[in-house]
Amino acid sequence: MSEIFDIMLGLGDKFAAHIVLAASAIGLGILVALPLAIWASRSPTVARITLGFASLVQTIPALALLALFFPILLSLRAVFGEDLPTLGFLPALLALALYALLPILRNAVTAQANLDPQLLEAADGVGMTGWQKLRLVEAPLSAPFIMAGIRTASVWTIGAATLSTTIGQPGLGDPIFAGLQTQNWALVVAGCLASAGLALAADALLGMVERGLANRQKWQWAAGLLGVALGLGAALYAQGGGEDEDTIIIASKQFSENLILSRLIGSQLEEAGYSVAYRDGLGSAVVHSAVASSSVDISVDYTGTIWTNEMKRTDNPGREAMYETIVQWERENTGIGILGRLGFENAYAFAMRADRAAQLGATTLEDIVPIAPQLTFGGDPEFFERPEWKAVRDAYGLRVGETRNFSPTFMYNALKSGEADAISAYTSDGRLAVDRFVILEDPREALPSYDAMVMLSPRIKDDAALIEALTPLVGAIPVELMREANYSVDREDEEKVTPDVAAERLAEKIGL
């Protein structure tokens, strides 16, 4: 318990960022929903369309809605210019505001519809204009119901805002996602407790405002609003003292290795006197654009990922040629500088349990082709959509029985328990050696190489001191040491360590 408490104490800046994001989204939601509700109360058609749209938005999973704003904003750059941020605060704000729309809109429309018609007749009878009726009668009488909608929206938004971690907006989702990747449950619980606590506090304060409005107790709603304002003010103040221009932001994707390497790079930079901030748990597709737009400064990416995802290439020119081509392509197309390769590959490969492989007589992908229709293949959430999978399928004529998605950490458990016969493993994964899994060879070289590279954003790629601080990492990490570091984070016994500790040990072993 004390461990969770310690973690929570360290969440101050995430907490502040979370409050500012959620409050902004709710604020924007209110700004849009209230005029719409007024319009809707005067036109049944508008009511149908707006409520229909808001309900439709609600059916989109929050995670998907957040992710969708990345391509939307990317395409809007054609209109607003290249400075339009596609990651971080803006897409999170827009998605969450859209999400907050429904409860506010629905409550406001319902409140208007349920106003006593005799009051409206009296309002007309005393000679109120439409605007006076809205201001003097409809708004004050609807206020408690609208407030109830805002309250619901706030609780939802605070919860959903944890997902904004995946599009690079820091918040209370950071410890949750980091904890899920490394199976560090204390982190997950701390993040959840902080987020739930925040939601409860907001609910209590807004509930006070709602009751104050309903009972016409000015002090009560004023006190509730004051509480909200103080919380928001404190969050804004805390955030104001956050990152400055010189901070180097290091991104990591949603798996342990990337997290460890981000910490390794971060500690090198801190030793060289830089201040460093981390954006953990970014979606794989998002990281490259984030670096290209200097939303983040450094990431570790892999040659095969860039080759297929960014350059849309399906050929396989071999390890060296691929790297050289990528360096040139990035320089010419995105402005990203590539510092160098770290020395190991984290390639996709197919792994099976040793006993199962022996039983089936499989040592290469070719051996698996005739029996594949009876087998279940497991992959990480993106694998079966990736060109690598298609390349393997085409190269070997592979037809598999069933495919299932697992988060990377759970994938190995699925293989161990027999839920999957083969999984898309990563060659640098520590669990491969420990659990005596075997890797199926790829004689037709369908799978591209995946050399780990350090990517530098256009903003910092010419920073000589930074390059000097990071150059000792180039070519310095053999795959065995990376596997060991990965396993030390992924393992589930008492020897499990945090990515920070794993990075420290790795630094020692490679002589830094």
Partner 1 sequence: MLKGRQLPIMSAHDESAGGALIRFENAQRRYGEVVAVGGVTLDIAAGSFVALVGSSGSGKSTLLKMVNTLVEPTGGRVLFAGDDVTTVPQAQLRRRVGYVFQGIGLFPHYTVAENIAMGPRLAGEKLGEERIAELLELVELESDMASRMPDELSGGQRQRVGVARALANDPEILIMDEPFGALDPITRDALGEKVRELHVKLGLTTVMVTHDMAEALLLADRVLVMSAGEVVADESPRALLGGAGGEVAQSLVAVPREQAERLAHMEDNTP
Phi (first) and psi of residue 367, to 5 degrees = -65, -25
Q: Which is nearer to partner 1, 183 or 220 (CB)?
A: 220
Rounded Cα–Cα distance for residues 490 and 495 (Å)? 10
Q: Which is nearer to partner 1, 138 or 257 (CB)?
A: 138
Rounded Cα–Cα distance for residues 74 and 64 (Å)? 16
Rounded Cα–Cα distance for residues 158 and 337 (Å)? 37
Shortest distance, CB of residue 153 to partner 1, whole angstroms?
A: 24
Residues that bind partner 1 (CB under 8 A): 116, 118-119, 121-129, 132, 136-137, 140-141, 216
Q: Which is nearer to partner 1, 134 or 347 (CB)?
A: 134
Q: Are 177 and 280 in contact (CB under 8 A)?
A: yes
Shortest distance, CB of residue 293 to partner 1, whole angstroms?
A: 51
Q: Which is nearer to partner 1, 138 or 310 (CB)?
A: 138
Q: Are 212 and 218 in contact (CB under 8 A)?
A: yes
226: which residues sit within 8 A by CB, 6+ positions away?
Answer: none
Neighbours of 266 (CB within 10 A): 21
Q: Which is nearer to partner 1, 119 or 204 (CB)?
A: 119
Shortest distance, CB of residue 124 to partner 1, whole angstroms?
A: 6
Shortest distance, CB of residue 110 to partner 1, whole angstroms?
A: 18
Q: Are 485 and 429 in contact (CB under 8 A)?
A: no
Shortest distance, CB of residue 129 to partner 1, whole angstroms?
A: 5
Q: Which is nearer to partner 1, 141 or 501 (CB)?
A: 141
Shortest distance, CB of residue 213 to partner 1, whole angstroms?
A: 10
Instruction: Return the DSSP state at 244.
Output: -
Phi (first) and psi of residue 129, to 5 degrees = -80, 170
User: What tokens were used for 402?
Assistant: 């069933």
- Nearest of 32, 151, 18, 152 to residue 89 by alpha carbon: 18
Q: Which is nearer to partner 1, 133 or 386 (CB)?
A: 133
Shortest distance, CB of residue 131 to partner 1, whole angstroms?
A: 11
Q: Which is nearer to partner 1, 140 or 475 (CB)?
A: 140
Q: Decide the pairing of beta strands 276-282 and 298-302.
A: unpaired
Rounded Cα–Cα distance for residues 237 and 240 (Å)? 5
Q: Which is nearer to partner 1, 123 or 477 (CB)?
A: 123
Q: Which is nearer to partner 1, 121 or 462 (CB)?
A: 121
Rounded Cα–Cα distance for residues 451 and 342 (Å)? 8
User: What tokens were used for 287?
Assistant: 């990281």
Place of tokens 């918040």: 171
Shortest distance, CB of residue 121 to partner 1, whole angstroms?
A: 6
Q: Please give the C-alpha separations between residue 368 and each of 404, 406, 422, 446, in angstroms, as whole numbers.
A: 18, 21, 10, 15
As a residue count, the chain comes to: 512
Q: Which is nearer to partner 1, 2 or 118 (CB)?
A: 118
Rounded Cα–Cα distance for residues 106 and 129 (Å)? 25
Shortest distance, CB of residue 15 to partner 1, whole angstroms?
A: 37
Phi (first) and psi of residue 272, to 5 degrees = -85, 5
Q: Please give the C-alpha separations between residue 171 and each of 89, 235, 276, 287, 492, in angstroms, as whole numbers.
A: 10, 12, 17, 17, 26
Shortest distance, CB of residue 215 to partner 1, whole angstroms?
A: 11
- Nearest of 104, 186, 179 to residue 145 by alpha carbon: 104
Biggest CA-to-CA distance, the chain? 91
Q: Which is nearer to partner 1, 115 or 371 (CB)?
A: 115
Q: Please give the C-alpha separations between residue 132 and each of 41, 129, 187, in angstroms, as whole numbers.
A: 15, 5, 53
160 by DSSP, 3-state: which? Answer: helix
Shortest distance, CB of residue 35 to partner 1, whole angstroms?
A: 22
Shortest distance, CB of residue 115 to partner 1, whole angstroms?
A: 11
